[in-house]
Amino acid sequence: MYQYFFGFKERPFKLVPDPDYLYLSASHKEALAHLRYAVKHGDGFVKITGEVGTGKTTLCRAFLETLDEDTEAAYIFNPRLDPIELIKAINDEFGIDSASYHLKTLIDALNAFLIEQKQRGKNSILLIDEAQNLPPDVLEQLRLLSNLETTREKLLQIILVGQPELGQLLATHALRQLAQRITLSCRLRPLNFRETQNYIQHRIQVASLHSGVVFDSGALRAIHRYAKGIPRRINIVCDRALLTAFGLDQKRITAAIAGKAVAEISGKTPARFGGWLKWAALAAALAVVGTAGFWMHRTDTTRIESSSEIFPSPSPAVASKVLEPDADAVSSANTEPLAAPAETRPTFDDSASLAAWISGIDFRASRYSALENILSLWDSNVKIRPYLDEIANDADFFQTAAGQHDLKVQALNWHIDKLAALNLPAVIELKLPTAIFPHYLSLEGFDDSGRLVCGGVGERILIAPEALAPFRTGYAYVFWKDFFAYQGTVSLNSGSSAIVSLKMNLKQIGFSDIDMTPFYDAKTRQAIVNIQKHNGIPVDGLVGPLTQMVLYNHTPSLSIPRLRPNLPVQDTDPRMEQKN
């Protein structure tokens, strides 16, 4: 996804053993020298070991690509074979008869081939990767193969490549004869800091067309500290760091970006302060202001303690209406970037006229315009990168653009009442019966008559819900902001920073009896259950995306664009029960 942005011809940190990306550290150079020596002069076994992810397979493939026409090689990369299967696999690699299931017949064919190769002045090597998986009886069979020789030299050079467990296996008493035949041995070591830096730069140079990406020194230290010099781990964290930087529209990988990538990979949420006690100190101040602000705008000023009055309940006269949001937040955040007077807006009260209007819009233009309309409600300085149009998948398109504006996107199977209950602007997907691709509109509010206020390409329109119904695919993308950086679902197993952040949020909206400890206790879970019940979202006691949206939306201190809350609430859409 980020190749075009950074100027790569391909992702530089893919987890594939591509010889083009081989970086020769000091120990890799030593191992390669051992392999080359073995081909020309070796008369025993060669053993190359290294920890998982140190580049053994990449080294093997690079070595095989350097062999000249005077060397025939058999490469076995899946050694979980019995003795007969092993010989059959070796014969297959050399292109000789492997049909028989008689061990002697197979070995005779292999011996005849090796003698012929030697008479033609050619060398023959057998390279077995992941050799630590070889059973003892297969290793013994390999020892017997090493007996294939003339009176002057060996016919087959055998190279074993594997994890450190290979050395432990060969050190056993049962395999002492094979261990004694190992004449060359080398171990791949993790990269040091300087080698890590050079490794990253090498892969970027190989992948680059005109790359300007830079890893600063802090990022390199964070990556090396996490990866401990293991190339595979370096690849994983660098790939995630580039994706994170892409989402932030940055070409410089900083220590903060690298740290975030490490946290995401390791499943750890970085603490926003030094510890939860600092969170609690901050919470004490915020809770007083937040609680006062919340209750100031309520019509019922009774202190809420019971589950039935978590958020202001509608009176019987307005029971069919959506809850009223904070007026100050609406006036400051729910602006209209295309300010046409309401009376001049095109209005569609029937499906036929709406279909005609939609059919006149390019589907790609509708996607771009809907995105721009939604982002402008959150941020007046919207900057959508042209390369985003190259992202074919619509979900990736919206999520990438949202990330560049510090927003998140929740894909939902939508129904109008559910979007109204969430009270956040959303991109809604529509599809005409005759169209191949869907069209998109931005849902930005409701007028006094219950029509949807939507953003089209260059104009605002009003749509009656019944006119929209035939074209509704059920997909919507709700844009929201994770103000308190929950970074995933908050539950019993979450880190202390996320739990204390949640409790701060609960105090702001009126739950003054929450204990500011770093534990997801029973009182906290009950508060979440009550909130979920009262707001018509799935009840599970966990703080997932939908619950976070509700919490933020009822936090008066936050500036959030909200839908106008006067659309009648309809029946619950059962498909929403699976979303949280």
For residue 402, name the pLDDT band (cuts at 50, 70, 90): confident
pLDDT at 23 over 80: yes
Q: What is the pLDDT of residue 42?
A: 66
Q: How confident is the model at residue 310 (pLDDT cuts 50, 70, 90)?
A: very low
- Distance set, CA 367 to CA 249, 394, 439, 456 (Å): 20, 8, 7, 9
Report residue 326's pLDDT band, with 50, 70 and 90 as the boundaries. Answer: very low
Q: What is the pLDDT of residues 488-521, one digit of tens each?
A: 788 888 877 788 888 888 988 888 888 888 889 9
Predicted confidence (pLDDT) at residue 320 exceeds the cutoff of 70: no
Confidence check: pLDDT of 284 > 70: no
If you average pLDDT over every residue of the chain, what do you get? 80
Supply the pLDDT for residue 344.
62
Predicted local confidence at residue 564, as pLDDT? 59
Question: Is pLDDT of 279 > 70?
Answer: no
560 pLDDT higher than 50: yes
The three-point CA angle 251-256-260 to 5° equals 100
Instruction: Quote the pLDDT of residue 80.
Output: 79
Average pLDDT on 371-376 reads 92
Selected residue with higher pLDDT from 394 and 25: 25
Task: Give yes or no for residue 309 having a pLDDT over 70.
Answer: no
Kindly report the pTM of this predicted structure: 0.50
Provide CB contacts within 8 A for 448, sequence distance 6+: 566
Judge whether residue 327 has pLDDT over 80.
no
Res 297 pLDDT > 70: no
Q: What CATH fold (topology level) applies to the domain 339-480?
A: Cathepsin B; Chain A (3.90.70)
Contacts of residue 205, Cβ cutoff 8 Å, sequence gap at least 6: none
d(CA 322, CA 566): 6
Domain boundaries, the chain: 3-9+192-266, 26-188, 339-480
Model pLDDT, residue 12 = 92
Q: For residue 125, what pLDDT is reported? A: 92
Q: Where are the alpha helices (DSSP H) in 360-429?
A: 363-378, 394-403, 416-422
Which of 185-189, 261-265, 284-288, 355-359 has the least mean pLDDT?
284-288
- pLDDT value for 370: 92
Using 50, 70 and 90 to split pLDDT, how confident is the model at 314? Answer: very low
Give the per-residue pLDDT at 406: 83
Q: Give the CATH H-level superfamily of domain 26-188.
A: P-loop containing nucleotide triphosphate hydrolases (3.40.50.300)
Tokens of 495: 């880190």
Q: Residue 224: enclosing H or E segment and its boundaries?
A: helix 217-227
DSSP notation for 477-509: EEEE--TT---S-B-TTS-HHHHHHHHHHHHHT
Residue 75, CA distances (Å) to 57, 61, 99, 116, 161 in order = 11, 9, 19, 20, 11
Report how far Cα 192 is from the mean position of its chain's Cα atoms: 27
Q: Does residue 578 register a pLDDT over 60?
A: no
Q: What is the pLDDT of residue 420?
A: 84
Q: Are 479 and 374 in contact (CB under 8 A)?
A: yes
What pLDDT, in 10s, does the model give residues 113-151?
999 998 998 989 999 999 998 888 889 889 888 888 876
User: What pLDDT does 341 receive?
Assistant: 46
Query: Rounded to an integer, what distance in angstroms lies between the CA atom of residue 399 and that of residue 404?
Result: 9
For 214-220, what is the mean pLDDT? 93
Pick the CATH number of 3-9+192-266 from 1.10.8.60, 3.90.320.10, 1.10.150.20, 2.40.110.10: 1.10.8.60
Q: What is the pLDDT of residues 88-118, one digit of tens each?
A: 999 999 999 888 889 899 999 999 999 999 8
- 466 or 38: which leads in pLDDT: 466
Confidence band of 43 (pLDDT split at 50, 70, 90):
low
Q: Are strands 439-446 and 252-253 parallel, antiparallel or unpaired?
A: unpaired
Most confident of 407-421, 436-450, 552-566: 436-450
